[in-house]
Amino acid sequence: MNFSIAAPAAHRIELLLFSNGSATAPAQVIELDSLHNRSGEYWHVEVEDLGEGCCYGYRVFGPRVPGGHGFQPAKVLLDPTARAITGWDVYDRDLATGPGPNTHACLKGVVTERERFDFQAHPRPRNSWQRSVIYELHLGGFTRRENSGVPPEQRGSYRGLIQKLPYLKDLGITAIELLPVFAFDPADAPPGRDNVWGYSPLSWFSPHHGYACGDDPLQLRHQMRELVAACHDSQIEVLLDVVYNHTSESSRCGPTLSWRGFADRNYYHQTSNGEYLDVSGCGNSIAANQPITTRLILESMRCWALELGVDGFRFDLGIALSRGDQLKPLDRPPLFLAIDADPELSDLKLVSEPWDCGGLYRLEDFPSRRIGTWNGHFRDGMRRFWKGDEHSSWTLAERFKGSPDLYGNKPAALGRSVNLITAHDGFSLADLVAYNRKHNLANGEDNRDGENHNNSWNHGVEGPTSDPTIKALRQRQQRNLLSSLLLARGVPMLLMGDEVGRSQGGNNNSWCQDSPLSWMVWGDDHCDLELKQFLQRLLKLRAALPQLFNPLVPPREVRRKTVETPSGIWLQWHGVKLGQPDWAAWSRTAATSLHRSSDGALLWMGFNAYSDDLVFELPEPTSPWRRIIDTARPPGEDLPAELPLSEGATMKLTSRSLVLLLAGEMTADLSF
């Protein structure tokens, strides 16, 4: 077995071999000689008669001077490239902090196979961006409840999620985006809390042990492969929310677990006197501009994509990875250049948050040709419109047609903009329409944590209510928001449980809540099954007519119809009067239509966020209008299985409702 580690400034390294993960002392210590066991920046040694399952760690010796590297030879370090981790039963995070030894309470790497995923038996689904619908979920919380239908021994696990793939397939999504499944430290949280979401990585290579069935660390990779294989067999892609922007080692006063003890200056952005620079909000920021760090991240991506079979990544605070020395933003960051040029990563779906906690926000000019971005402006614009804010109608139109105002006056290319209304970080959809403010006291931080500016609206009562009028309006608003998301151009992302009205009691930052507060809800008594049916039909509609709702080439926009009618499909915006959109600050309405040459209109959609009902003029359709969606109608009739004719030259839109009409010829093959 060959062991190799990067430690450019180290003077001496010891390889520690343990008899098992629970061992409190090494069975063998092998000293690496700088003359015979070093090649450039890498230390290495070959050890005979070892195999899979070997448990190991390192001690690294080097200069410890003010402003220098953080060498802590008393600490046993975890190999940054370990494919599996053990020792959780003896691990003590506190003992990894300070000058004392932690040998009896350390984590160990485990030697594993490095076989490639069997793509021949379970090929990638390769769903096009045009037809992609992403569903963001927490792997543990999705199947944790007793009534999830998952066997007790599999709840909250990789195998437990496999049991629920038929549910996801039936819903109509094409990809799942898993909150972090990299091994993370649950103890990286305030006293009495656990880090549940997983944005505290201990390793960029090992799957998280807490989602495994059983205690064998060698089974971790096999169970992750089982999940990916089952998803591929269901034509569902697997995207991972990955945290490369920071680690669980926190600030310079935090624990020495892995990266810091090997190459502190290479892995972390620092000042000249050794203070950590932080744009992650977690105490440290990874220096992805450093060659060793770039190589490590690329190897991690290849591990998950080629060995474990995942189909893509979503980079948490990804723009932070574009920062250079002293956090200067780079137009050609080394990591993104390497990703763009890597042939083994060329067929993956890549998405990033375009912001970080240091104020950097790059959407249209995100410095990678291949990486799309979460469109936070879409979320904010749609929320503000349906909330009834001023200056929101024009923004609604821009977001709906692909945000050309944000992408150089051209609608974003498909895959470049991921649209969302809700995500793990913030209110759920049900809470978005039920709370004006966050309610995070359960997190133990006196309600200081979580976003304060949510663009939410409780519609008259904070939290649950028995008032039928308010309940009906909230139900309508959920349908308005989902329709706005799924009928807009771009790649939509849904949040776990939004389809059934999952509430977190107004908590908009449930990162430390491994409880029913943040788990998926199951069962007819706890789920809004009518909302689920509405979403299922909405997804079928989007999938059946991608050329209308998510065209590869956006239609030409005509502001005023002239004598010379455009050829092909063209788009026009309206107000209550045809061809007269109202973009004034006080406007709360908009309407749009798609036309085919001079034949007539194929689609008309009206948005009324005003406090009163309004009557809209309709364009002449190519064939009689069919009413597809009217969110003001009762559940079941809001998007009915049988599509009624809509006669007349006008359409009345109830206050705070959305209506979609399609020409009859476009509905011939629709089936709900």
| pLDDT of amino acid 67 | 58
Q: What is the per-residue pLDDT for 566?
A: 81
**What is the pLDDT at residue 412?**
94
For residue 316, indicate whether it is catalytic.
yes
> What sign results for the dihedral spanned by CA atoms 436, 440, 441, 445?
negative
Give mean pLDDT, residues 192-206: 96
What are residue 604's phi and psi, to 5 degrees?
A: -140, 135
Which tens digit of pLDDT belongs to each residue from 403-442? Answer: 999 999 999 999 999 999 999 999 999 999 999 999 999 9
Q: Which residues of 239-259 are buried (b: 16+ CB within 10 A; e: fewer)?
A: bbbbbbbbbbbbebebbbbbb
Q: What is the mean predicted confidence (pLDDT) over 166-195?
A: 96
Where residue 98 falls among pLDDT bands split at 50, 70, 90? confident
Q: Each residue of 251-302: pLDDT tens digit?
A: 988 999 999 999 999 999 999 888 899 999 999 999 999 999 999 999 999 9
Domains 1-114+189-209+245-349+356-369 and 552-667 share a fold: yes
* CA neighbor of 60 nearest in space, from 247, 236, 264: 264
End-to-end CA distance of the chain: 57
Residue corresponding to tokens 């979503």: 314
**Cβ proximity of 525 and 540 under 8 Å:** no
Closest CA to 76 of 7, 16, 142: 16
Using pLDDT thresholds of 50, 70 and 90, give the confidence band for residue 70: confident
pTM greater than 0.85: yes
pLDDT at 669: 86
| pLDDT of 229 strictly over 80 | yes
Compute the 3-state secondary structure of the chain and give helix, strand, coil in percent, each to the nearest 5.
25, 20, 55
Q: CATH classification of 1-114+189-209+245-349+356-369 is 2.60.40.10, yes or no?
A: yes
Q: Please return the burial class of 472, using the count of CB atoms within 10 Å of its CB with bins 0-12, 13-18 and 19+.
A: middle
- Of 136, 307, 311, 316, which is the active-site residue? 316
The reported pLDDT for the residue numbered 89 is 97
* Percent of the chain with pLDDT strictly greater than 90: 94
Set 185, 241, 264, 353: catalytic member: 353
Q: What is the pLDDT of residue 68?
A: 56
Domain regions of the chain by residue span? 1-114+189-209+245-349+356-369, 552-667
Q: What is the pLDDT of residue 274?
A: 85
* Residue 361 DSSP symbol: B
pLDDT confidence band for 191 (50 / 70 / 90): confident
Indicate whether 82 pLDDT > 90: yes
CB of 309 within 8 A of CB of 289?
no
Q: How confident is the model at residue 24 (pLDDT cuts 50, 70, 90)?
A: very high
What is the separation of C-alpha 259 from the centre of its chain, rounded to a whole number of angstroms? 25
Quick check: is 637 catalytic? no
Assigned fold of 552-667: Immunoglobulin-like (2.60.40)
pLDDT of residue 562 exceeding 70, the answer is no
**Mean per-residue pLDDT of the chain:** 96
Q: Give the model confidence (pLDDT) of 107-142 as tens digits.
A: 999 999 999 999 999 999 999 999 999 999 999 999
Question: Nearest to residue 223, comparing CAs of 242, 237, 209, 202?
Answer: 209
561 pLDDT band (50/70/90 cuts)? low
Q: Which two tokens stand for residue 426?
A: 């913030």
Q: 563 pLDDT exceeds 70?
A: no
pLDDT average, residue stretch 61-90: 89
